[in-house]
Structure 1
Amino acid sequence: MQNRFDNKKQKILELLGTPDELYQDLSPKGSVDEAIRPLIADINRISGLVTTSSCSGRVSIFCEGRQKDIEDETVPSTVSGGKGQGSWLYVSHLPITPQVLNDPNSDIFSVFGLQRGNGKGPVASFSFIHLKFEPMILHILTSSLEDAQRAITAALTSGFRESGSVSLSPGKAGDINPMVAVRSTGYSFDSIIGYQNESGDNIAMVDEECLRTLVGIANARFDINTDRISRFRTALLDQYDESRRNSQRASKPDWEDPEARRRRKREEGLARQRLMQAQSAVTEEALSDGTPEQRP
């Protein structure tokens, strides 16, 4: 008989196994990001873990809801899972292509659905437009406290410093299935770059040089994000693969098992002690019979 965790994992894996043309989840994108699929597959192959939601990291142009709509709770939000109203003008889970970023002839404003500013600034009712970079976030359901601890340890040592877990209390059957969030906000950023006027026009408040600089920063953050994802994958697999750890340790000539090192240090200490005792005995014998002590 399957327990609660196994039942949930089976249902999640069945959903993830749906053909791409039929797959649909609750995220705004509606599917698993390509950049994170190998990590998701590795995690879900571990018996005590299963992923429940993920984002590989993204750069986006986000328009806030109008203040009067935010205050009116009857107005539905256009952002799934978000607070207040708002909409995305542009979303990418990959770095902005060099052709867009470096080509002086490309219109980077139109790529993001913006019009060049007129220098007048926002008037009357408006909504600010943000350029955001958000790192990977990953939620992992675990089958036990031990599994949760392994996942958190891998996350923290890989740079996802705000990672943690919830649902630590036992369920009705007495089982504990913590949910681990792997995340880091330290290298995310959010910059206001424009506004939406009453007519619905998206007007830039920054010049082209500033906008290209901000996009370049977002691309650099993608590199950091990719590196941390790779480190997390390695660290997590190491937590569950003893043979993998032993192989890696054996490949390092200076690595030594802690217990073996303690034994070696103790034996070396005893050998030095015996040597000193032997040298002391020889010296005392030489002095007693008047023979001069030999020195090297």
Structure 2
Amino acid sequence: MERRAEFSRWKAQCLSKADLSRKGSVDEDVAELVQLLNGREQFFTTSSCAGRILLLDANINGFEVQKQNCCWLLVTHKPCVKDDVIAALKKANGDATLKFEPLILHVQCRELQDAQILAVRSTHGLEVPLSHKGKLMVTEEYIDFLLEIANQKMEENKKRIERFYNCLQHALERESITDLYPKEKIIKKSNSYSHKKRRNREKADGKCVTEDNDKELENDDDPEVNVTIFPEDY
């Protein structure tokens, strides 16, 4: 009880602070998702980004771009056009890199089981160097090609946000029902299992059921229990 009270105080304190992001507000495409999480007592968001295309000017160590020590030449949460990128590249003095970053969501969770609901990771990104020491290393045609890919990823990212929202909402609703009616769920599972086992025995048409068959029936999964909330390829 004390831990829950402490978490609630921490949540209220964090959500009351000013938004210190570059934009200063939650992105429109992720606002509903942020509202859903902050509306639950076991979660609160600390930062978020709906997805963006950006052009960074920095020194590159290997393939790693340190955004803290670089100049942001261009950033947009909408589809990007070539003319905007070309204009931004004229300001580059170092190594400019075009990036697409998908949904980023940082969430504080009250318990480990709450965090497991949000255990989702995506590799839906893009990072390509365009210039070196201020000199453009690719053609405008290639930049146009890269932006076509980045814009496609942006559109797919919006669809993934919507799917994630729907899956999360469904998972939280299931969790609420389980918390309210834990005994009823256990009884339902037990009755479903007993009915299935009895039905499979009846299909044997009076034949002797061996110990191996008994074991197979006991390992038979109940489709009402094993539900995948987030697909593996999400």
TM-score, normalised relative to structure 2 = 0.70
Q: Deviations over 1:97-132 (max 9, x none)?
A: xxx35xxxxx4554x42349xxxxx9xxx5110101
Change (3 A) 1:11 1:261: same
Provide the rounded CA distance (Å) in 1 between the counterparts of 2:115 and 2:84.
43
Q: CA deviation at 1:245?
A: 8.4
**Distance change in 2, residues 1:32/1:264 (3 Å):** same
The structure 1 residue matched to 2:30, chosen from 29, 36, 42, is 36
Report the secondary structure of 1:46's partner residue: coil
Structure 2 equivalent of residue 234 of structure 1: 166
Q: Which has the larger radius of gyration?
A: 1
Q: In structure 2, how many angstroms separate the alpha carbons of the residues matched to 1:94 and 1:242?
A: 34
> Deviation above 6 Å: which 4+ runs of structure 1?
243-246
Indicate the residue corresponding to 1:11 in structure 2.
13
Q: CA deviation at 1:242?
A: 2.5
TM norm structure 1: 0.56
Q: How many residues align?
A: 193
**Candidates 36, 42, 51, aligned match of 1:57:** 51
Aligned pair 1:48/2:42, yes or no?
yes
Secondary structure in 2 matching 1:129: strand
2:206 pairs with one of 276, 279, 288:
276
Distance in structure 2 (CA, Å) of the matches to 1:62 and 1:86: 7
Given that 2:100 and 2:127 are in contact with CA atoms closer than 8 Å, whether structure 1 keeps it comes out as yes
**Could you say which residue in structure 1 is the equivalent of 2:143?**
211
Q: 1:66 offset after TM fit, Å?
A: 9.1
- Secondary structure of the corresponding residue to residue 241 of structure 1: helix
- In the alignment, structure 2 segments of 5+ residues that lack a partner are 179-187, 208-234
Paired letter, 1:5: F
| Structure 2 residue aligned with 1:253 | none
How far does residue 210 in structure 1 lie from its aligned partner after superposition? 0.5
- Where 1:30 maps in the other structure, the secondary structure is coil
Q: Distance in 2 between matches of 1:109 and 1:6?
A: 44
- 1:280 paired residue number: none
Q: Is the contact between residue 134 and residue 188 of structure 1 (CA under 8 Å) also seen in structure 2? A: yes
Which letter maps to 1:268? R
Change in CA separation of 1:269 and 1:262 when aligned onto 2, cut-off 3 Å: same
Higher helix share: 2
For 2:75, the equivalent position in structure 1 comes to 91
Listed one character per residue, the Cα deviations across residues 10-50 of structure 1 (whole Å, up to 9, x for unaligned) are: 123334xxxxxxxx522232322121111100111111000
Identify the range of structure 1 (129-138 vs 259-268) with the bigger mean alpha-carbon deviation. 259-268
Give distance in 2, aligned partners of 1:128 and 1:238.
44
The 1-side partners of 2:202 and 2:109 are apart by: 49
- Aligned counterparts of 1:114 and 1:265: Cα–Cα separation in 2: 66
2:157 corresponds to 1:225: yes
The one-letter code sitting in structure 2 at the alignment partner of 1:218 is A
Provide the residue aligned with 1:19 in structure 2: none
1:164-203 matches, cutoff 5 A: 184=122, 186-197=123-134, 203=135
Following superposition, the deviation at residue 137 of structure 1 comes to: 1.3
Identity of aligned residues (%): 30
2:105 is the counterpart of 1:138: yes
- Secondary structure of 2:57's aligned partner: strand
SS of corresponding position for 1:27: coil
CA shift for structure 1 position 206:
1.8
Is 1:150 the counterpart of 2:150? The answer is: no
